Amino acid sequence: MNERVIELEEVNPKDFFGAHNSTIEQLKRYFPKLKIVARGAKIKIYGAVDDLDEFEIRLERLIRYYERYNKLDENSIERILTSTGNEEKTTAAKNAKDVLVHGVSGKLIKAQTQNQRKMVSLMAKNDMLFAVGPAGTGKTYTAVALAVKALKEKEVRRIILTRPAVESGENLGFLPGDLKEKLDPYMQPLYDGLRDMIPHERLESYLEKGVIQIAPLAFMRGRTLDNAFVILDEAQNTTHAQMKMFLTRMGKSAKFIITGDPGQIDLPRKQVSGLKESLLALKDIEGIAQVYLDDKDVVRHKLVKKIITAYKSIETE
């Protein structure tokens, strides 16, 4: 009797195997001639070579499905085990039209407004995109979804998320903890988006291996960012020198999205925002696109849209 050992590297065995090893039980019913034993992250299979080969093909399809949709239920397992593989490609192609990412527990992450959809289409045609608009318009969340999509589809090897560590009226020096602990609250919106889109164990693994990096803007100095999807968030709080430094980090096969809200600048009063300068300086360069989101793109609580409108009327007086 022949033996094969398959180790699950990119998926969480507990979630993939299902409650009471339900996935393994379905595999056993589909492959009655094989002896299948699952322990930890390893699956041992015993049987004839042809049956082992077929098992590996079907298991690989199950893994790909789980990686794409972050869920695996009895119906999808049955469909994958009994299909030729062409049906899966057709379904994936249909879903790809609107869905950016299948998030945690199969949550569908889509562009929800006209300008968010414009972000998606412009990013497909350009290597650098400025997405500008008020809080709550989904510019950062959509940018993170585009980055995760590119990573899943192997268009890039890593995601780099960065923000300028501007104190916004608070003094970092008086906050407890080391540098990472002081800065993590500033990176929280980026973590929140990632947690919606990538299962916890895989996200922790990506962060540990450097596949996903979250760091303050100052840490970008001196680097060349190749094969990466890079997001600069809160870009309105960059200085001229910081923005120029960041934009010139762009390496081969890289995608850059710069998001910001010119209405929420926390720089000293006489300091010019690097975002405002770059929007003017780079507006006519081919390969660099700009999209402006507004209160019609707000996807938070319905009151947020009214708050933005109210403040707009005050600020224009």
Place of tokens 């979630």: 15
**What distance in Å separates the CA atoms of residue 105 and residue 216, rounded to the nearest whole number?**
30
* Segments of the chain scoring below 50 in pLDDT: 94-95, 167-171
Angle at 145 between CA 144 and CA 151, to 5 degrees: 90
* Most distant CA pair in the chain, distance: 83
Report whether 293 contacts 116 (CB < 8 A): yes
Torsion of CA 64, 68, 74, 79, to 10 degrees: -60
**What distance in Å separates the CA atoms of residue 55 and residue 32, rounded to the nearest whole number?**
11
Q: What is the pLDDT of residue 45?
A: 92
- From-to residues of CATH 3.30.1370.10 in the chain: 2-96
Q: Is the pTM of this model over 0.85?
A: no
Q: Helices marked H in 72-170 — which ranges?
A: 74-82, 86-96, 114-125, 139-152
Number of H helices, E strands in the chain: 12, 11
Give the CATH number of domain 2-96; options: 3.40.50.620, 3.50.50.60, 3.30.1370.10, 3.40.50.720.
3.30.1370.10
Q: Who's near 284: CB < 8 A, 6+ residues apart?
A: none
**What distance in Å separates the CA atoms of residue 159 and residue 303, rounded to the nearest whole number?**
33
In CATH terms, the superfamily for domain 100-315 is P-loop containing nucleotide triphosphate hydrolases (3.40.50.300)
Question: DSSP letters of 9-33?
Answer: -SS-HHHHH-GGGHHHHHHHHH-TT
- From-to residues of CATH 3.40.50.300 in the chain: 100-315
Q: What is the pLDDT of residue 64?
A: 82
Q: What is the pLDDT of residue 170?
A: 40
**What distance in Å separates the CA atoms of residue 211 and residue 157, rounded to the nearest whole number?**
7
Closest CA to 130 of 294, 254, 279, 295: 279
**What distance in Å separates the CA atoms of residue 312 and residue 153, rounded to the nearest whole number?**
40
Give the burial class of 215: count Cβ atoms within 10 A of its Cβ; 0-12 exposed, 13-18 middle, 19 or more buried: middle
Q: What is the pLDDT of residue 169?
A: 40
Torsion of CA 196, 109, 118, 190, to 10 degrees: 0
**What distance in Å separates the CA atoms of residue 197 and residue 200, rounded to the nearest whole number?**
9
**CA dist list (Å): 20 to 48, 60, 274:** 27, 21, 55
